[in-house]
Amino acid sequence: MENFDFVSPTEFVFGRGAEEQVGAKLAERGARRVLVHFGGASARESGLIDRVAASLDAAGIEHLELGGVRPNPEITLVREAVALCKEAEVDWVLAVGGGSVIDSAKAVANGACIDGDVWELFETKRPNPDVLPIAVVLTIPAAGSEASKNAVVSNDELGRKTGYGSDAQRPKLAFMNPELTFTLPPFQTAAGLTDMFAHLLERFFDDYGPVPVTDNLNLSLMRTIRAEAPRVLVEPDNYDARANVMWAGMLCHQGLAGLGRHEDWATHALEHELSALDPSITHGAGLAVMFPAWMEYVCEENPARFAHYGREVFGLAPTGDVLADALSAVDETRAFFASLGMPTTLAELGVAEDDIERMLPTLRANKGDAFGSLRRLTLEDAAAIYRLAL
């Protein structure tokens, strides 16, 4: 097991009506003026924003609202929110939504405490210990951003999408009511399930040997997602299934599932270029295409690891040919994503071979000349994986 430094400061308020405790919990922590940050019209039309505002009012907490966060959040709205926070002397940022809203809120919380442009943090990755405290009302289980140290933001002007990691931006409070996810469209539910599963794959496949305590947690979460995925798609108002998915999504990206390992993250890098190329590409859908392609390309690096994954997660029986077993595990992964209604090729996402060369310069700007852990990928490798996914 590798050395690690792990911080997890988030208080989780989980269950029915969790969002009704927002005001009281923030008041306990001394909040005076809060920015309520959210996405599209559904958060308001569902009455959730009004309920959150009423909870803050009841606790005597002033609040401002700024909606409009899109999927694959963009730096322009972040900059607007940063200016609003500084002008109003906001002391907490409350994200109401899924991973895109939470990532935007993290960027805002950083930008409100620094001089200069917040995009500079995403470009340089320099540490920033001064961050406004963040709270979350989660509505879309997927990214795990409600407890993670990571945020990903796009810059459309530069054609870039990149991440920033810092324990200082882990949310302090996460309100998680599975009932808020009952009305999620099937595609959004499926994309979230894919994103969770991908977070586990990034951690399970690297260049390090077995770490049983971490690996078994990871595999258990994979099996849970596989078991609950069809239930939430067929029975979207099944509370227990939604609760298991919501809690699993947090555990998939909080950090526990990768402790003591190196982790890989090459596939997320490859996908980020897809949704930078076309922000309408849903992150989970892009991952559903790219992960099996990456697995097929690199599985010869450690076929026994892939075969083990196939046995533990999909129940595949060993054939005596380890590489064949590894490739069967890749096929099962692709089939699982397809069973959720996810795409299996880049063509289904509107990405053609001509787009590959357009993505490589920004991939290099984000990740350098080589990236990944299980196998160090060059830009030539990246191009080959994109072609494999066509």
Hey, what domains does the chain have and what are their CATH numbers?
Answer: 11-180 (3.40.50.1970), 185-389 (1.20.1090.10)
- The total of other beta-carbon atoms located within 10 Å of residue 280's CB is 10
pLDDT at 343 (0 to 100): 97
Residue 380: Cβ-neighbour burial (10 angstroms; 0-12, 13-18, 19+): exposed
Q: What is the pTM of this model?
A: 0.94
| Nearest Cα residue to 348 out of 272, 289, 278, 260 | 289
Local confidence pLDDT in tens for the 390 residues of the chain? 999 999 999 999 999 999 999 999 999 999 999 999 999 888 898 999 999 999 999 999 999 999 999 999 999 999 999 999 999 999 999 999 999 999 999 999 999 999 999 999 999 999 999 999 999 999 999 999 999 999 999 999 999 999 999 999 999 999 999 999 999 999 999 999 999 999 999 999 999 999 999 999 999 999 999 999 999 999 999 999 999 999 999 999 999 999 999 999 999 999 999 999 999 999 999 999 999 999 999 999 999 999 999 999 999 999 999 999 999 999 999 999 999 999 999 999 999 999 999 999 999 999 999 999 999 999 999 999 999 999
Rounded CA-CA distance 203/262 in Å is 8
Q: Residue 139: how many CA atoms within 13 Å on its side-chain side? A: 23
| Nearest Cα residue to 390 out of 293, 275, 270 | 293
Residue in the structure block whose two tokens are 């060369």: 357
Find all residues with CB under 8 Å of 253, minimum gap 6, and list them: 143, 144, 145, 147, 148, 150, 196, 199
Rounded CA-CA distance 144/62 in Å is 28
Cβ–Cβ < 8 Å for 260, 214 = yes
pLDDT at 128 (0 to 100): 95
pLDDT at 173 (0 to 100): 98
| Nearest Cα residue to 94 out of 13, 161, 207 | 13
Check residue 158 and report its DSSP letter.
Answer: T
Rounded CA-CA distance 120/51 in Å is 35
Question: What is the end-to-end Cα distance of the chain in Å, rounded?
Answer: 37
